[in-house]
Amino acid sequence: MDEPVSSQPGESAAEEVQAEAEEVEEPPRGFLEEINCPEPGIIDRQMIETAYLEEGQKGEARRLHQLEPVVYDRITTMRLEFKNILRIDHLWMMPNLTKLCLNCNKIEVIEHLEMLTALKDLNLSFNYITRIENLEALVNLEKLSLFSNRIRKIENIHTLQNLVILSIGNNLIDTVEGIERLRFVSSLKVFNLEGNPIAKQPDFPLSLYVTAILPQLNYYEYVFIKAETREEAQKRFYRELREIEDKQEREIQGLETEAREMAEADRLASSFVEHLDGQQLYDSLWRDDGNGRILMLVGAPAQELCEEYSKDVYELTQQIYRLGLERFGERDEEIRDFNANLHEGQEELQAQGQKQIEEFLQYKERTFDKMRLKWIELDQRDDDLEELQAQLDTLTAHFEDALNEMWESLMAQELHLHEAVEDSTHNFNRKISDLMANFVEQAQVTFQQLRDLCSHFADNMTDIVNQFLSTKLMRNELNAIPEELMQCVDDREAVLQLVEGMRTSHTSRVDEREDRLAQRSRQFIDDMIMSLNNKEVDRHRAKILEINSFMEMMTEALANLPGELHQEAPSD
């Protein structure tokens, strides 16, 4: 059976697990196949709205709940059991969902859940799921039930770092492979594998194996794991545990190294100085440089000059590299401050608006109570009807005026916030652009020094090659001249052509790297500002829709008030 979320170790938690498990009796497998259902379908908007409007309230609370408009952002719980659902879809409409019950359906694939990052409780038991997948985005998930499906392997769960309860009972799992991956889920306290083929092997104590391999567990199959049981398990599976621990340690070290490398790569990419921390730029100068390779055939003097050239290029690229990291720190701090201030301003205004709405709702209840009394009195009296109607009209007018005033106030606050965000973004754009322009200008000074260095190297190489050829001719050692340089013996202009080709190749590589830095820095600003503007437009539109939806709900509630009283009259 499916287990409850329990974060408190101890005997009381075991009782809580058992009590909640007994509270909801799950149907047997055959029940789903025998029940008279419509054709299997897909979760759609109508299904979601129907389930929301029919959820657990009773009496007057239920009637009022069904009069409210469906605001998807406010839905935190969705129960879609026994709906004959074949495929999951449209759940992205409810981004703040924390509990989702899809048990007792015909779902075959776990899909389309990536937008539900707030989800804490997911029940997919009693379906036809064959593989655990597509759960990586559910970073806040605490309880996952896959009880009674068709799963054959434990996989793709180790990324759920907040998972407390995992039930995979009554599936087709016949191997312990994958259980050791749950060691990475340090929050896991309750685990269930009952009813799987692996649990039915008479010569293999699965409960002891799980207890040994997963030391963080407090409960296995609803039973609290006692200290003596844990000790027995560790002795029984000592060798397997040591192998798993050694493998896990190596994997953790590898993951840490990979994470550091990725973080450093991201930092360098965001600094626009990636591949400038070593000899990468210098090596690129010689890439596809046939002229330079021919000139280097003169031997030791060219090699010595090249070594000096390498050191000078490295020193200059290091200047650009250090400059990029330094300026990245300044930009990153500026971006964090901007986002923090923006969020603070939005939160403050949202709190003001929420307080205003709560005060209005209290006013609404007081006014509606007065209007109900007037309507009842109007129905029961035969005289002074005009006076009562006038009083009702006055109450209605005051309510409508108050509603309009609140709408104007909320809209004014929202428009003020929208304009403030636009101004802040504009100022931020100007400031970050100035910082980036300053960085590019400083880097361009060093790139110019690199180009000058390329030209200086080319000039020195011309002298070395000419001296080499002159020496060989003077000594009549033509056989010692490389074949590729023989054309330069009778035509000294050929040396200049080779050198110029090398110079052009090297400086073009420097130009390309400089252009790349400048273009990426501009693109970075454009993309960031566009993202900020698009995000604000989406937020602003959603807020306007929310305000207008609230107005419509209040107007509709006012219009429905007389009809509600007439519907209640026969029962009085």
- Cα 146–151–157 angle (5° rounding)? 60
Q: Tell how strand 223-224 and strand 165-167 pair up.
A: unpaired
Residue 139 corresponds to which amino acid? V
Predicted confidence (pLDDT) at residue 562 exceeds the cutoff of 50:
yes
| C-beta separation of 324 from 276 below 8 A | yes
Nearest CA to 536 among 304, 401, 260, 345? Answer: 345
| Token digits of residue 391 | 């009083």
Q: Give the pLDDT confidence of 179-213 residue by residue, as tens digits.
A: 999 998 999 999 999 999 999 888 899 999 999 99
Average pLDDT of the residues of the chain: 85
How far does the chain reach from its first CA to its final CA, in angstroms?
46
Residue 194 corresponds to which amino acid? E
DSSP string, 378-425: HHH-SSSHHHHHHHHHHHHHHHHHHHHHHHHHHHHHHHHHHHHHHHHH
pLDDT at residue 72 in the model: 76
Nearest CA to 339 among 110, 95, 535? Answer: 535
Q: CA of 156: how far to CAs of 182, 188, 333, 430, 486, in Å?
A: 10, 15, 36, 45, 66
Q: Give the pLDDT confidence of 318-376 residue by residue, as tens digits.
A: 999 999 988 888 888 999 999 999 988 888 888 888 888 888 889 988 998 888 888 88
Nearest CA to 127 among 100, 68, 87? Answer: 87
In CATH, what class is 41-258?
alpha beta
pTM: 0.56
Residue 64's pLDDT band (boundaries 50, 70, 90)? Answer: low
Predicted confidence (pLDDT) at residue 492 exceeds the cutoff of 80:
no
Name residue, tokens 């009496």.
59
Residue 46 corresponds to which amino acid? Q
More confident residue, 252 or 70: 252
Strand partners, 220: 191, 223
Predicted confidence (pLDDT) at residue 508 exceeds the cutoff of 90:
yes
Q: Which fold has domain 282-348+372-555?
A: Phospholipase C Beta; Chain: A (1.20.1230)
Q: Domain ranges for the chain, please list them.
A: 41-258, 282-348+372-555
| C-beta separation of 41 from 84 below 8 A | yes
